[in-house]
Structure 1
Amino acid sequence: MISVRQLGYYVAIVEAGSFSEAAERLHIAQSALSRQIKLLEEEVGVALLARTTRQVEMTAAGRAFHGDAVRMLAGLGEMASRARQAERGVQGSVALLHSSSVPLGRALLAPLRRHLSRRSGVSLSISTASSEQQAQDIQDGRADLGLARAPVLRQLPDVLTEVLYEEALVLAVPPGHPLATRREVPLHALRGERFVSLPHPHRGGLSYRVVELCRQAGFFPEAAQAVSRKATLLRLVELGFGVALVPADMAADARADVRLVALAECDARTQVLLHVHRSPTPQARQVADALRAACAEPREE
C-alpha cells in the first residue's frame, strides 16, 4: 500500500532534483530514501524516475503521478489544518505568534488582558516566529494570529495580512559614538557604519526594511563582525560591535545601555502587520478585533 510518507518523499526528490539533495532536506539517509522510492515504484507497477549519475528526471508516468501526489498531499494538509482549527475553537484557545522585532509591551498586552478577563473560557498561547513562518503556521492551522514586520515577501492563499500600525525607526548607537549626541541624523550619514543586523535572503521584516531605506540613501549597509537576527541586536550595539536601525517600540523595551537618535527622514518608518486566517475561529476573530481597537488609538512616539 502506498503511504503518505512515500508520496512526500517522491515530491521532495522531484523538487530537489536529486536523491542526495532531497535526503539532506528530509534529514534521512539517502539509502533509506532510495529504498522507499523503490517500494513506491513496485507498488505502482511502473518506473517513476529515470536516474542518472547527477540528477533524476521524471518518466512520463512519473509526471502524471507527481501531479496527483501534490494534489493529494495538499488535500491532506488542508484536512489537518481544519481539524486543528476546529480543536482550538472547541477548547477556546488562540495561538498568537509575534516577530522578535514586535515586542509585546504594555500597549498590546493590556488590551489582550482586558479581553481575556471578560472571557474566562478563552486562553492565549504566545510564541515567537519570523514573519514568513507566522503566515505558514496560520496557513497550516498551527496558529491563529501573527504580529509581523513589513514587508512579508510571500503571500499565502488562506492568510489575510493588514497593517495594524506604523512607527518611527530610530538609530541605536553605542555610548561614545560620534553620532550619540546628535539630535537627529540623516540616513546618508550612516554610510560606512557597521550594522549588526542584515536581511535574511528569503525573509522580509525589519532588516529588509532597513536595507530599503539605506538603498534610498545611496548605500548598502555593511555588516559588523557580529550580527544578530534581533534577540541580541541592541546588546551588540551596546558593546560597540556596530549600529542598528530599530523601531521605537523595540528600543523602548531595551535594557541595553544604548543611545537612541532620531532619523531626519520623515519616511523612515516601519509597519506592524496582523496575520489572520481567512476563516478564523470566533475566539481568534475576537482577539484580532481587540488588537485592532487598541492600535486604532493614537500612539505616542
Structure 2
Amino acid sequence: MLTHKQLRYFVDIVDAGSFSLAAERLFIAQSALSRQVKDMEQALQVPLLERGTRHLAVTPAGQSLYDDARRVLAALQQATVNARHAQRGIEGTVQLLHASSVPLTPALQAFLRSHLDRHPGVSVEVSQSSSEHQALDIAEGRADVGLARDPVLRRYPGMHYVPLYTEPLVVALPVGHALAQASKVALNDLRSEAFVATPHLDRGGLSHRVAQLCRAAGFEPRGARVRSRKWSQLALVQAGFGVAVVPASMGQLCPPGVATRPLAGEGSHTTVLALWREDASALVRQFAEALAPALHAPS
C-alpha cells in the first residue's frame, strides 16, 4: 500500500524533472527520495522512472501513477479544507464555473452577496471554464454550477440546462475604425474584417453562435493573425489586431481604446444557461435555483 508521503514525493520528482531538484525543493536528501521510489516500485512490481537517461523519464506505469496521484492529492487537500470549514461552522462550498464570455457582472456580484448574506454557512469558489468543458466537469462531479453560453453542443444525462437571460450582441472595434462611427453594425459589414476570436461551428457557446450568424450572412469569418477566445480578445481589439463580436455585458467592460456598436440583424443575441446536476446536493440546488430570478436581466 502506497502512502500519502510517497505519492507526494513521486509527484514532486516528476514535476521537478530530477531527483536532485526535487530534493532541494523538499529539503530532504536525494538518497531518501530515491529510496522512496524504489520502495514504491517494489510494492507495485512495476518500474516507475527510467534513471539511465540524461533527463528523468517516466514509464507508462509511472505516468499512470502520476496522473492518479495528482487527483488523489487534490482530493485529500480539498477534504482537509472541507473539514476545516465544517469545524468553523461553514455548511459547504459551491464550486461555480463561468465562461470567459459570461463576466462577473454587477447583477451576478449582487446575487452572490445577497445569497451569502442569507446563508452564512455557504462559501463560493469561482473558476473560469469554457461552456463545453463546464458540462463535463459538472457531470463528472468536479464542479457544481456553471454559467455557460448557449448552445452547449454535448449534453449529458442527469443535468439541468436552464436559460437565465438573453442579451444582445455587440461588435467591439478599435476606436479609430470606420465602423466605430456607425449607429449599428451589420454582420455583412464584417465580411472583410479579421476576427480576434475566430468563430467555429464545432465549438459551443459564443463561438458557435457567432459562426452561425456569419454563415447566415453568407461568409466564413476570417481569423486575425493574433487570436484569443478568452477575455484577452478585447485587448487584441484594443491593439488593432481585429474586431470581435461579444455579448453586451462583456462589451460594457471594454478597455480604453475599444468602441462597441450594436450588432444589427435578426438573431443578434445570445443566451446564458445555468448548468447543474439533477442529483446535486440541497446546498447546490438552493444556489442554482436562486440564479434565474436574480439574473433575469444582466447589469
Alignment TM-score, normalising by the size of structure 1: 0.68
Residue identity opposite 1:272 in structure 2: V
- After the TM superposition, which residues 1-301 of structure 1 pair with which residues of structure 2 at under 5 Å, given as runs? 32=60, 91-199=91-199, 203-296=203-296, 298=297
Alpha-carbon separation, structure 2, partners of 1:100 and 1:169: 15
Residue identity opposite 2:277 in structure 1: H
Confirm or deny: 8 A CA contact 1:92 1:121 kept in the other structure.
yes
Alpha-carbon separation, structure 1, partners of 2:212 and 2:195: 14
Deviations 1:242-294 (A, max 9, x none): 01101000011222421111122142001111101111211111111221111
**How far has the Cα of 1:95 moved from its partner?**
0.6
Deviations 1:180-212 (A, max 9, x none): 100012211111110000146753111111111
Alpha-carbon separation, structure 2, partners of 1:111 and 1:148: 17
The 1:216–1:201 alpha-carbon spacing in structure 2 relative to 1, beyond 3 Å, is closer
Alpha-carbon separation, structure 1, partners of 2:60 and 2:267: 54
User: What is the aligned-residue identity percentage?
Assistant: 48
Q: CA RMSD in A?
A: 2.8
Alpha-carbon separation, structure 2, partners of 1:92 and 1:241: 44
Alpha-carbon separation, structure 2, partners of 1:218 and 1:202: 18
Find runs of 4+ consecutive structure 1 residues off by over 6 angstroms: 87-90
- Once the two structures are overlaid, the 10-residue window that deviates more, 255-264 or 197-206, is 197-206
Alpha-carbon separation, structure 1, partners of 2:280 and 2:109: 21
Confirm or deny: 8 A CA contact 2:180 2:261 kept in the other structure.
yes
Alpha-carbon separation, structure 2, partners of 1:101 and 1:253: 11
State the SS of the aligned residue for 1:289: helix
Residue identity opposite 2:236 in structure 1: L
Confirm or deny: 8 A CA contact 1:105 1:253 kept in the other structure.
no
The 1:251–1:114 alpha-carbon spacing in structure 2 relative to 1, beyond 3 Å, is same
State the SS of the aligned residue for 2:172: strand
Residue identity opposite 1:259 in structure 2: A
Confirm or deny: 8 A CA contact 1:144 1:277 kept in the other structure.
yes
State the SS of the aligned residue for 1:197: coil
Residue identity opposite 2:197 in structure 1: S
Residue identity opposite 1:32 in structure 2: P
Alpha-carbon separation, structure 1, partners of 2:201 and 2:291: 30
Deviations 1:214-260 (A, max 9, x none): 00000010011100012211111111100110100001122242111
Alpha-carbon separation, structure 2, partners of 1:299 and 1:92: 27
State the SS of the aligned residue for 1:173: strand
**How far has the Cα of 1:295 moved from its partner?**
2.0
Residue identity opposite 1:240 in structure 2: G
**How far has the Cα of 1:96 moved from its partner?**
0.5
Confirm or deny: 8 A CA contact 2:238 2:255 kept in the other structure.
no
Alignment TM-score, normalising by the size of structure 2: 0.69
Deviations 1:75-110 (A, max 9, x none): xxxxx9xxx9xx799742111000011001111110
Alpha-carbon separation, structure 2, partners of 1:224 and 1:31: 41
Alpha-carbon separation, structure 1, partners of 2:278 and 2:203: 22
**How far has the Cα of 1:178 moved from its partner?**
1.1
Confirm or deny: 8 A CA contact 2:151 2:209 kept in the other structure.
yes
**How far has the Cα of 1:179 moved from its partner?**
0.5
Alpha-carbon separation, structure 1, partners of 2:180 and 2:224: 18
State the SS of the aligned residue for 1:184: coil
Confirm or deny: 8 A CA contact 2:200 2:211 kept in the other structure.
no
Alpha-carbon separation, structure 2, partners of 1:256 and 1:148: 27
Confirm or deny: 8 A CA contact 1:173 1:180 kept in the other structure.
yes
Confirm or deny: 8 A CA contact 1:234 1:256 kept in the other structure.
no
Alpha-carbon separation, structure 1, partners of 2:258 and 2:291: 30
Deviations 1:36-62 (A, max 9, x none): 9xxxxxxxxxxxxxxxxxxxxxxxxxx
